[in-house]
Structure 1
Amino acid sequence: MLTKLLRRTTALALLLAAPFAFAQDPAPTAPTKDADPALWVVKDADTTIYLFGTVHLLKPGLSWFDEAVKKAFDESGELVTELGSPPDPATVQPLMMKYGVSMTGPSLTEKLPEAKRAAFAKALADFGLPQNVIDRFDPWLAGTQLSMLALVKAGYDPKSGVEEALHGAAAAAKKPISGLETIEQQFGFFDSLSEPAQMLVLTEAVDKLDSAAAEFDKLVGEWAEGDAEGLAVMMNVGLRSSPELSKVLLADRNARWADWIKTRLDKPGVVFLAVGAGHLAGSDSVQAMLAKRSVKSERIAY
């Protein structure tokens, strides 16, 4: 059961772009290590859409933007990611207040089960976070922030993430960049969760802070090896025990993205579509949703 809880927490990092992590010092450079993440393609007579799974935070030194991935990107006339170009922090802050902060009512500590309160307070102290501020956070926001900070502390860096490199390359090549969702929509997904589901995000994050980095190491290792089946197992174990989280964060979004892809096939061109790797793995993956819509996807061997 503990492994399932941990995997659900780390799985969230493959599902949402999470551009709202607290600022951290840059991670040190590291020796380059080769990675060959999975790549798929959907095409018809005049349209090609590459499907690439991303990891939003990586440790420096992992070389993945080469070989077939770079070739597909270079061939593409546009880049589509979950959020498009990174949102302006000045825009994110009021949205965070709207969807993730409650200035009235019981504090977050008061909402927590009594048995979890001491561990929550310790986690905040360890990260140097003011409890009186975090106590006004909704459970989903506090939980995702604690999980993200645990990964950053272990050396994972949003600036080394896949989207950062893709956005930079697209901007340099003057490729159009667009998004499947907005940051407000992503905040809204969490805000729409029931109180028990939000509290689950928080309590699992608190319980597994010491183990999150090691589990995420395994997950990134499978991504780097192109092991889509291994990622699917981790996603299934991590989310299936919470049907609400699985539906809101994974299945419903994948279905909408499959509709977008099917519609985009009506317009000629080559598109590089990059979304969290968890969306391209498992029985509710984007590819599975495409198959239900009679759209074939094919993995590119390299």
Structure 2
Amino acid sequence: MRRQIIVVFFSLFWLASGAAFGADRGALFKVTGKGHTMHLFGTMHLGVPEFYPLEPRITRAVAEAATLALEIDPAMAPAEAAAAMREYGLASPGASLPPPLAARLAPLLQKAGMDPAALAPLKPWVVAIVLAVHEFGVQGFRPDLGVDAHLATLALAGKAKVVGLESAGSQMALFSKLTEAEQLRYLEDAVTLVESGKHRADITELTDAWRKADRAALDALALRLDTDATFSGRFTRDVLLAGRNVGMTDKLAQLLERENKAVAAIGLLHLIGKGSVPELLRAKGLTVERVY
């Protein structure tokens, strides 16, 4: 069960049918500076077969790239994730959920076919992520069909180097900043979203917007993220997105300075809204053009 949880966590971070030659998906940007050009693509970390093929501009860019930068290097991910889970994801011995929250969680786990005893050793934030990714799975989304993994396969086939901008440890460490009370609030928000059916509705909205490269829908999602007043919403916006965007932007700017025709592919939500990676790259004096 713990191995499944590691895969689930890694898949989350990594967060319609296409025409024969591939349709526009997500968001694609062209970044120029220091005489070099880099493509920046917004991905979905979990996918379905209908996501593919991707459209030719991104696949051609990957084919021509010497380097593909992803959030996490997939070659390092399993071992890193296992070590990080041991360091950041295990609850203190004897820890338990408050009875009212445990009572709400139990039927959700039962419906999902999960054993509460298997999740008991884990911190509340890990349980929240397990719930979230299960909701994706119910709608057919799978880690092995994630866009990051697909692009890594294309890059390696073309002999490109694949590098990670972050590590599983650095991502999980963000949750270690939460107090025990805050972790319980994070889990409670996740339970509320699943109970209400809103989580599945949000998944549909996000994935439909990605499938169609629907700029208006993505802008609406960004606005909703910016105004989400729930604890989990604020943590996602301020820590999991904006906080990480700064570090990834710095590394992408360094990559652009070193290399021409590199490709970076990171989660779609990092590329939209206030404090997005494209916005931060522009603030560094780089030219950022949105292709779609």
Q: The TM-score by the shorter chain falls in which range?
A: 0.7 to 0.9
How much does 1:90 deviate? 4.3
Q: 1:272 to 1:265 in 2, by over 3 A?
A: closer
Name the structure 2 match of 1:168.
153
State the Cα deviation string for residues 110-160 of structure 1 (Å, max 9, x = none): 3xxx44332201112222322223122111100001110121122111111
Return the match for 1:256 from 232, 239, 247: 247
CA contact (8 A) 1:56 1:162 kept: yes
State the Cα deviation string for residues 222-247 of structure 1 (Å, max 9, x = none): 11222244224324423642434322
- Partner of 1:21, secondary structure, is helix
Return the match for 2:38 from 46, 49, 64: 49
Aligned length: 274
Name the structure 2 match of 1:106.
95
- Partner of 1:143, secondary structure, is helix
Aligned counterparts of 1:217 and 1:203: Cα–Cα separation in 2? 22
CA contact (8 A) 2:65 2:261 kept: yes
Q: 1:35 to 1:116 in 2, by over 3 A?
A: farther
How much does 1:86 deviate? 4.3
Amino acid at match of 2:24: D
Return the match for 1:82 from 60, 66, 71: 71
Q: 1:45 to 1:98 in 2, by over 3 A?
A: closer
Identity, % of aligned pairs? 27
CA contact (8 A) 2:225 2:237 kept: no
Write 1 or 2 for the structure with the bigger share of helix.
2
In structure 1, stretches of 5+ residues that fail to align are 1-17, 24-29
Alignment of 1:73-152 (within 5 A): 73-107=62-96, 109-110=97-98, 114-152=99-137
CA contact (8 A) 2:271 2:278 kept: yes
Amino acid at match of 1:204: D
* 1:274 correspondence with 2:259: no
Aligned counterparts of 1:200 and 1:235: Cα–Cα separation in 2? 23
State the Cα deviation string for residues 4-57 of structure 1 (Å, max 9, x = none): xxxxxxxxxxxxxx963189xxxxxx9656531221011135321111000011
CA contact (8 A) 1:47 1:270 kept: yes
Alignment of 1:1-302 (within 5 A): 20-21=7-8, 35-37=23-25, 38-107=27-96, 109-110=97-98, 114-209=99-194, 210-238=197-225, 240-241=228-229, 242-300=233-291
How much does 1:215 deviate? 2.3
Amino acid at match of 2:237: S
TM-score by length of 2: 0.84
